[in-house]
Amino acid sequence: YSYYNENTILYFDGEYLKATEAKIDLYGQSLHYGYAVFEGIRAYKTEKGEVKIFKAMEHFDRFKRSCELIHIPYNYNNEELVAACYKVLELNNMEEAYIRPLMICPPNMTLKAASESHLLICAWEWGAYLGEKLLRVMTSSYQRPNPKAFQIESKSSGLYVNSILASQEAKQNGYDEALLLDINGNVAEGPGANIFFEKNGKLFTPPPGNILPGITRATVIELARELGIPLEEKLFTIEELKQAESVFYCGTAAEVIGWDSLDGQTFPKPWTESLGKLLQQAYKAKVLEKEFKREAKVA
């Protein structure tokens, strides 16, 4: 997969440059120590034919907080950064795209916090990240990082080595994706997505604390409320999850994606009849700014 070509334009520190010509210094903390922060945002072509970035301000608010949590200077106005994202889409003639802001620290090999930072915003066309098929998930042998050892609510680059290890392990074992537990053995999240399960007409998801507070997660909670679906944030174990009727992951890249099985054990409710499927449709309608009505007979 090529993320850019000779015509691709990106934003770097207030300028719009060719991706093939933009440069960063190789002697930096971001590259050497993973001391950088990123976001993942999606743009959609709405029902009216407009290009809209979904929850752009929420993503930049999290971006800012992620930087602050690990002491990377953030000297930007979020309205301007949202405008820069639209400009990148326009310059590349992109309508449906994944947008990646990345805050990079300048050359410095010490372990001191950065005193300046540089901002890249690039975009590429990306379909369904985890595909459309139901996921065969494996409980990872890797835990999510200890919240006392890291600012785990900061979407920091270095943290994603953990995600890569977990995803890789799952794929090597013939699964589609991993599920990671927290340091206490409760279910936390996927390598790049939050988890929900359905049981007795109700949805459950882990509370903030040991997870990345996903913007899609917040949207799913909002949609569940609008649709009158009861929902509870609580900690739960793998054993409890294995008693679920159906399960799904959600994230900006993955959107809402159902599970087939966990460690080879399938879930009893057909996806098409699940609350997850209903929320998948409601989510799709929301990002496309389409009206969504829950049909009389559901789940």
66 binds ligand PMP, rule: CB under 6 A: no
Considering only residues 176, 177, 189, 260, which one is a binding residue for ligand PMP as defined by CB under 6 A? 189
Min CB(210)–ligand PMP separation in Å: 11
The region that residue 73 occupies, defined by phi over 0 for left and psi between -120 and 50 for alpha, beta otherwise, is: beta
Considering only residues 210, 252, 274, 280, which one is a binding residue for ligand PMP as defined by CB under 6 A? 252
275-287 and 215-226 helices, crossing angle to 10°: 110
Instruction: Pick the stretch among 126-134, 214-222, 260-268, 286-294 that binds ligand PMP (CB under 6 A).
Output: 214-222
Considering only residues 81, 193, 278, 287, which one is a binding residue for ligand PMP as defined by CB under 6 A? 193
Tokens of 119: 């901002």
Considering only residues 108, 186, 205, 216, which one is a binding residue for ligand PMP as defined by CB under 6 A? 216
- CB closer to ligand PMP, 9 vs 70: 70
Q: Is there a contact between 40 and 121 (Cβ–Cβ < 8 Å)?
A: no
Q: Is there a contact between 256 and 280 (Cβ–Cβ < 8 Å)?
A: yes
Q: End-to-end alpha-carbon separation of the chain, Å?
A: 38
Whether 155 is a known active-site residue: answer yes
Considering only residues 101, 145, 206, 251, which one is a binding residue for ligand PMP as defined by CB under 6 A? 251
40 binds ligand PMP, rule: CB under 6 A: yes
What is the per-residue binding string for ligand PMP in 142-181, x denoting contact by CB under 6 A?
----------------------------------------
Min CB(20)–ligand PMP separation in Å: 27
How many chain residues are in contact with ligand PMP, going by CB under 6 A? 12
Where are the extended beta strands (E) located within 92-245?
Answer: 97-104, 118-124, 135-143, 177-181, 187-189, 194-199, 202-205, 231-233
* Cα gap 46→89, rounded to integer Å: 15
280 binds ligand PMP, rule: CB under 6 A: no
Residue from 55, 64, 155, 277 carrying the catalytic annotation: 155
Q: Is 39 helix (H, G, I), strand (E, B) or coil?
A: coil
Distances (CA, A) of 68 to 87, 103, 117, 267: 26, 11, 12, 41
Catalytic residue annotation: 155
* Site residues, ligand PMP (CB under 6 A): 40, 189, 192-194, 212, 214-217, 251-252
